[in-house]
Chain A
Amino acid sequence: MADVAVGKDKCGEQRLVSLPLSRIRVIMKSSPEVSSINQEALVLTAKATELFVQYLATYSYRHGSGKEKKALTYSDLANTAEESETFQFLADILPKKILASKYLKMLKEKREDDEANDDESDDGEAES
């Protein structure tokens, strides 16, 4: 099955789809409820994914802080996932990053809060 479609063919014409259909198919089939996929649906999904990549990249670049530096960074993408409704579904896989020291501080504060609450609810019972 010759599904690898390159960007431009010998005549220099734009091929319909650049992403390999076989790989797209594997991802689609990994979804448990899916029985079978018609060839047109496969081609359209591949094409849609390309459009998505373009959209995500340009949107993140336009709204990102990297614009002055002429760069697209991970944090531009994470910001997009958090702030744009359209890209919300990516929030879990593109979490914002914070400094490790800040995270440890947050953990510490949370633990202190929890302990404070426990003390209030305890009726003087010794902790085991």
Chain B
Amino acid sequence: MPGKLKVKIVAGRHLPVMDRASDLTDAFVEVKFGNTTFKTDVYLKSLNPQWNSEWFKFEVDDEDLQDEPLQITVLDHDTYSANDAIGKVYIDIDPLLYSEAATVISGWFPIYDTIHGIRGEINVIVKVDLFNDLNRFRQSSCGVKFFCTTSIPKCYRAVIIHGFVEELVVNEDPEYQWIDRIRTPRASNEARQRLISLMSGELQRKIGLKVLEMRGNAVVGYLQCFDLEGESGLVVRAIGTACTLDKLSSPAAFLPACNSPSKEMKEIPFNEDPNPNTHSSGPSTPLKNQTYSFSPSKSYSRQSSSSDTDLSLTPKTAPSPQGPRIYLCPSSPPLSCGSLHLKKSCLLLSDSSLAPHHCSLGSPVLRKSVSFSEELFLAASGMGSGSAGKEGGPFKALLRQQTQSALEQREFPFFTLTVFPPGFLVHVGGVVSARSVKLLDRIHNPDEPETRDAWWAEIRQEIKSHAKALGCHAVVGYSESTSICEEVCILSASGTAAVLNPRFLQDGTVEGCLEQRLEENLPVGCGFCHIPYDELNMPFPAHLTYCYNCRKQKVPDVLFTTIDLPTDAMVIGKGCLIQARLCRLKKKAQAEANATAISNLLPFMEYEVHTQLMNKLKLKGMNALFGLRIQITVGENMLMGLASATGVYLAALPAPGGIQIAGKTPNDGSYEQHISHMQKKINDTIAKNRELYEINPPEISEEVIGSPIPEPRQRSRLLRSQSESSDEVTELDLSHGKKDAFVLEIDDTDALEDVHSLLTDVPPPPGFYSCNTEIMPGINNWTSEIQMFTSVRVIRLSSLNLTNQALNKNFNDLCENLLKSLYFKLRSMIPCCLCHVNFTVSLPEDELIQVTVTAVAITFDKNQALQTTKAHIEKSLQRASADTEELLQFPLELCSDSLPSHPFPPAKAVTVEKANPMGEGNFRNRSAPPCASSTVGVVKMTPLSFIPGAKITKYLGIINMFFIRETTSLREEGGVSGFLHAFIAEVFAMVRAHVAALGGNAVVSYIMKQCVFMENPNKNQAQCLINVSGDAVVFVRESDLEVASVQQPTANCQPLCAGGEVTT
């Protein structure tokens, strides 16, 4: 009995009227934890009851504390009939279980009902008394901290990054239990909410145990997902990166070392600085490290573990020297021995990508398993060998030696992080991904979810082998996802193959500087671009040149990654969001036939998505993609692919060639004219984009660089038609000054469609930039104004005569329009950048396409944004006018009627069209201006891991919430749009209330992981499930901090100044 949970119900307000006769409510509250329930007195006849209850005490195991949510139910007392439920509040008490997080949960929580939405608020105080439990065999993992943030949290220091942790738990979905036929929708929804809450608690506890086993104390980049498998059950799975984190005693002093945004911004302009490492010093200076001699093997890594305070050779956290190293995951790049064979086999697999290459492991569930590797990704994201001798040689050998032993110990050297401590990332290979199509079957024994485990193990194994083929021993920016339709499920995993600095994985201190030795070998700003594999045994055909920065090592021509842009990367100009969108029809089929059809389609989808990305990247005049996320969604009669990434121009990589259009029938005069017209348009677009994104790479003469290795045959892989391509190459127009022009051949409608889609992508309106990474490369003067928003759009397609082209166009328009309306809504924030743009596509029903977007708009200082003065004035004028409109977006008189009595959007009347907007829900969360002092504490929400112009001083715990909302009066609630709009607003309100109750003032790394919408317009019904998560934090504005530092001059003036510069 190692814990006592104490709950006090204080008061309620704005309760709904439950008694029509008196227009009042007789409310009381049930407080339930585990199997124990307490009740308050009935507070008669009030909509604002003051219960002021005693402290309800629950004496419970800490295992239960972790699993169970506290469940608070508000009811209306009824003498003669059953008490009516008003609504519920679920409170996750996990944050109270860490020592440093919140100590009390206290505040107003919205009372939520799955049918009626929010119905008033309740004031609750929750406390936990934990007793120490030294039981070694305990089942609980209290004290392990969880972070959604995919970087080392700001006020912590990573002592060791242990590596991958994963777990999944399975249960029956209450919605599909027999009892669901006889219970009310409300009961069913609540059962589901409760179960998922319980399962996530259990999952978190189990992951925590694994972390403790690894001797870590935290999980960073924690990503938890639900798979609603319908009949076959409910899977909750999570992945994360186990770490040992140290709380920084004086957080402000840490500013330069941690990935504070302001810091990142500051660095970029100075990236020419020959020795930028000096900044990363924090308390541990390079000097200290230099005092140690460079010795090979393991001792080396321990030696370099100098932390700010401790110069001893003993690793701080490891009791035995052997201990920590076991957690290590990096595998050494096994290039020298037998790697050739490995790569060959991988290539083979890739080429015959349709052939299943996992055996089914004898599982009855696994009837058909098809997977394929992404040759294309590898091909395009090309990497070169950093190895090939020269100066890199001895160091690499050393690296290999060091990690060799650790290699075997670690099953999956994966990291869910996307941002790394400086020096962590040595080389980046490219994107590795794997997909597998599975048939779902009922999970017979929920306690042993072996099949699901096995499925993921297979995929991870494949990822690992792909990474190996790229000469990489680790995968970073790793993530997993599923798409389910009926009984078919696509499992996907992707990440970026990389070579890591082993020091950080062992007992090194993360913010310690690079060894001098390392610096010599890895020129800062381009090191990560250098190919990790052997030039002579490339795993795929790639186009290598010497690095444009250091000119010593080989780099690929294009680099694709799933991670954020490294802070020290040298970028020319600005970046931009690049999306590839694709739909493919498929026949409706059952079970295995369906799975086969999907498996057959997948490689083509991947190929086309990739081609699109490549084309668009070239069109933007850029040469690298960061934050790449490819989502393949399966529906009844179609597959959708949506890839988002942020394109940038890396200074280390060669300039991208242009796009060359080649016609198939060269003799036709008008056709040729058409072609040349298109070619001109494309060239113009490239030139325009270069100007727009300020891409002006310094001219470097060919001799210095060494001409690119001409590989026409290999390049032709990217051509549409391989048979003809070799002829075309000779006719290349070399107007772009590089020999590697990208040929796009127009020989069929597909290609035509591609070209059109290329050219129809409209750039964002002036003053807007967008990216899906945390911050926009090339912009470094962010102001503190941020605004997060979520927008959901659902369109209904008419199933008549749908062709792939029409479908593609619909989908493309949907996404473009969504972006356009975001730009429109945010017009008053110009100049601003949409960061962390996250698109999610789902196909909830036969003819419905649902796209959900979450992003954050951050303004930046336009005075520094290279614009002419004239443009300024226009801008500010515009802004002024926009502002007034903002204040009153519509004349109030036009809408004073409360219930719009119009039945429904006119969608059905217009079904003649291919796609018509069935409805769209949009929501804007207006962040309050900094000066706001409201009666309700302001809680900011952002998908970023930081808040511009502010410092996060404390992490209060993870927010992981799941809500269901159902309605049987869809039309009355404003149709799909009204329903979703209200629901999303309510979800935001509940998230904010929980954060505020924890004592926080922001949610960072916020993500809406799921938004599942189903409707039945004929029955006037709809249901929506939303799962959100993030980290509750306390932040302090840097301006406030400065005031504080004046008062305490000893504290930490220096770093503050660094931060301050940026905000001003």
A and B from one complex: no
